Amino acid sequence: MAFSEFTLDSAVRSLGVSVAEADLFPDLTPVVVPAWLPDWLARGTRLALISEKARSEFIVVPILLAAKELSGGRLAIFSGQRLDVDSARGLTGECDFLLALGPSVPPLRAPIAAVVEAKKNDVEGGLGQCVAQMVAAREFNAATRGPAPVYGCVTTGEAWQFLRLTGDAVELDRRRFYLDNVAGVLGAIAAIVGAAGEA
């Protein structure tokens, strides 16, 4: 088994986590969107209709790059990074994106968030994979970060669903962000970076 094979039900059963809804960002402050991003997304959205890979390249990556810019370079983006933690439990495989604090150069440092690209535009279908990657990140982080929460996000590019893992409790944000609120998406990522910096 690997990350991509997990459903939310199988993640709950085999990884020993619980899932509940929560307000992850109750005091969210939308950020000022970089001037270059709206035009890029307008052009990218038209191209993103072609394939999932196109959505990744033309919508997801620009938003993550904007988040990195807004963090003052504190946010590292690892694309296609393997995270092999425990093959017996299925906590192994390639991650679409892992976010960490520090420079975007190897080796991988303690991830603060896993970003999963939803297959077939199905956010719910990507939740199990995201939970499994968050559990793996928690295990990976244990030696250096201790019990700090790990965040996750499942995105189609157009929709962004955030999660948080604290201990064995997965919290699913009650609010889902969409491209018409990219400031909210960037604000949520900024809040994650801020929380990780305080941990």
Tokens found for residue 50: 């072609």
pTM, full prediction = 0.93
Reduce the DSSP state of residue 94 to 3 states and report it. Answer: strand
- The residue whose two tokens read 């370079």 is 73
Beta strands in 5-158, from DSSP E residues, in sequence order: 18-22, 75-79, 97-101, 111-117, 150-155
Q: What is the pLDDT of residues 2-35, one digit of tens each?
A: 899 999 999 999 999 999 999 999 999 879 999 9
Give mean pLDDT, residues 140-166. Answer: 91
Average pLDDT, the chain: 90
Structure tokens at 146: 């201790």
How many other CB atoms sit within 10 Å of the CB of residue 176? 15
Domain ranges, residue 32: 3-198
Q: What does the pLDDT look like over 105-128, one tens digit per residue?
A: 788 888 889 999 988 888 999 999
The bridge status of strand 150-155 relative to strand 111-117 is: parallel
**Residue 198: is its pLDDT beyond 70?**
no
Residue type, 10: S
Number of domains in the chain: 1
Nearest CA to 115 out of 72, 75, 70 is that of 75
Share of the chain above pLDDT 70, in %: 94
Q: How far apart (Å, rounded) are the C-alpha atoms in residues 98 and 81? A: 7
Q: What is the mean pLDDT of residues 41-48?
A: 75
% of residues, the chain, pLDDT over 90: 70
**Residue 142 belongs to domain with CATH number:** 3.90.1570
**Residues 16, 34: Cα–Cα separation, whole Å:** 40
Q: What is the pLDDT of residues 66-101, one digit of tens each?
A: 999 999 989 999 999 999 999 999 999 999 999 999
